[in-house]
Amino acid sequence: MKLPGEAGEHLAARAALLDGTYREVAARLPTNTQIRFDDDGRLHLAALKPEAEPASLVRLRVAVRAMLPAVDLPEVLLEVFSWTGADRAFTSIAGGEARLADLHVTIAALRAQPAVDPGRVFVVGHSMGGKVAPRVAAAEPSVAGLVILAGDAEPMHRAAVRVARHLASLDPGAGEVAKLIARQAAVVDSPDLSPSTPAAELPFGLPGSYWLDLRGYDPVAAAAALDRPMLILQGGRDYQVTVEDDLARWRAGLAHRPDVTIRVYDADDHLFFPGAGPSTPAEYEVAQHVDAAVVADVAGWLAPRGRSGGGGGPGCP
């Protein structure tokens, strides 16, 4: 560190430097408009004005957002755990294991609660949660019905390409990200995809086992095989899960079902926030309320239904 042998010499030099700095600052105080002392001798500093974000930072934020799954992160983790068993590598604070295979135990415990009607336990899923809701209901016969909000039916890797290209159309700086996701999606479609395919070559860094399972899952077919009523809701301005690419699949696959009700809210985005004009990721960053009509429709649809006496809705429009 090249320090002198005597500490006193070094400390004296540091003290002189500090004293000189203090005096230099004090000499500039009379002309410094950013600093003032009040009558009690307290120092006040003027607030710093925020600097404008550089264009590169804005592009980076859009690019990173485009690389993230079009679902909530907890949903992705739960799905990965259910397909790979990775949750068994973790132990809770209480010492027990988190086993998604024990979902039926959770539902049974819910149905046993005095305040819960055991014949009226419904599964409600949003986005990818809506996609897997039929799978949950198929595994648990006691589920009375499904409410699917903006449930994606298009294969997720292909939807990711569509969404990435949409974001690149809003910001050309995200074009390279869109190309990367397209290349990764092609690997998912490849017959050579296997559990050993490096996750870095696949969308969102999710493992090959995840994509193999998801590739073989058809949410519409799974829903059509169920004998439960369903309410499927969709935002008209949603660019992640769309009327054309996703809802059209639900409609086609469930058109024969009188116990399936489908409703579209033209002004709503993916989070069912009402608005106007094309939806953008920036809308999600503003605190808002879910469209009151959506809340009322879900509550109204659930109210009369149960496994023993619940009928279907007016059917698919």
Return the axis-axis angle of helices 175-189 and 156-170, rounded to nearest 10°.
170
- Residue 248: count other Cβ atoms within 10 Å of its Cβ: 13
What average pLDDT score do residues 192-196 get? Answer: 94
| pLDDT tens, residue by residue, 6-46 | 788 888 888 999 999 989 988 888 888 888 888 888 888 88
The whole-angstrom separation of Cα 270 and Cα 245 is 14
On whether the CB atoms of residues 66 and 167 are closer than 8 A, the answer is yes
Task: Tell me whether strands 35-37 and 43-45 are parallel, antiparallel or unpaired.
Answer: antiparallel
Residue 71 pLDDT: 61
pTM, to two decimals: 0.66
- Closest Cα partner for 137 from 99, 97, 107, 98? 107
Mean pLDDT of 190-199: 93
pLDDT of 191 above 50: yes
CB 313 within 8 A of CB 307: no
**Residues classed as catalytic:** 127, 238, 270
Q: What domains are defined for the chain?
A: 74-302 (3.40.50)
Return the pLDDT at 314: 38
The sign one gets for the Cα dihedral 151, 156, 158, 160 is positive
